[in-house]
Structure 1
Amino acid sequence: MQTPHDSLVVCCNCPDETSAHLLAQGIITARLAACVNQMAAVKSSYHWHGKIEQMTEVPLMIKTTVAAYPQLEQWLLEHHPYEVPEIIALPIIAGAASYLDWIAKEVNLDQK
């Protein structure tokens, strides 16, 4: 049985719907996550190269395992269009056992 601390939610913003879709499909195809939610566009404000920037971005919410995280991070760094992509992993501290077991079953690094 999977425990909550074996699972992660990884947040990653994308510059547009097309890149978000391509990243989500690539992550699932590579079995680096059980599920990727492509969220509604958001307005982001941030510092970049000494200036304050504002941009519309499309967030991804990626459900994966602690064991798969290093490969997921590397995959995102290789495929993401941003020079410095947001890749933030948040631990799941509680969750339905059946859902956490499903994440563990679907994230299968041996099937790649």
Structure 2
Amino acid sequence: MALIFIDVWVNCPDRETAEKIADACIGEKVAACANVFAPIASRYRWKGAVETAEEVPLLLKTRAEHFDAVCAVVRPLHPFEVPSITATEICNIDQPYADWLRKETREPA
């Protein structure tokens, strides 16, 4: 069976949080790579009110079967009550890059 890879997006309140989560996910080998983006302006509904905030997007690259493990690493390190953790399947991937992602992430338990 072919491996499925995903991009996991996590919006963080600041760069420090994004880097801490990135380091933990790479250290635990539940992600092979992390990209910390420049801050963005976010608008969202929270507890009945429209809020605005500056957030730092974090992109993690990993195997689909590691999504739950990524969530388990992110939640305790993230200060939000309900952090945004979403994944998108990578539909097309260059084989050498896929091989690298597989090699740099642990085998599922």
TM-score range, shorter chain: over 0.9
SS in 1 for 2:58: strand
RMSD between aligned alpha carbons?
1.6
> For 1:89 and 1:23, how far apart are their aligned partners in 2?
16
Shift >3 Å, 4+ stretches: none
Structure 1 letter corresponding to 2:94: A
1:10-60 deviation per Cα after TM superposition (whole angstroms, max 9, x unaligned): 000000111111111111111110001001110000000111000000000
Instruction: State how 1:1-112 maps to structure 2 within 5 Å.
Output: 3=2, 6-109=4-107
| Cα offset, 1:78, TM superposition | 2.3
| Cα offset, 1:67, TM superposition | 1.8
Gaps spanning 5+ residues in structure 1: where? none
SS in 2 for 1:33: coil
> For 1:26 and 1:51, how far apart are their aligned partners in 2?
33
> For 1:97 and 1:70, how far apart are their aligned partners in 2?
24
Task: Report which structure shows greater RCO (CA 8 Å, sep ≥6).
Answer: 1
Gaps spanning 5+ residues in structure 2: where? none
Q: How many residues align?
A: 108
Q: Return the TM-score normalized by structure 1.
A: 0.90
Q: Return the TM-score normalized by structure 2.
A: 0.92
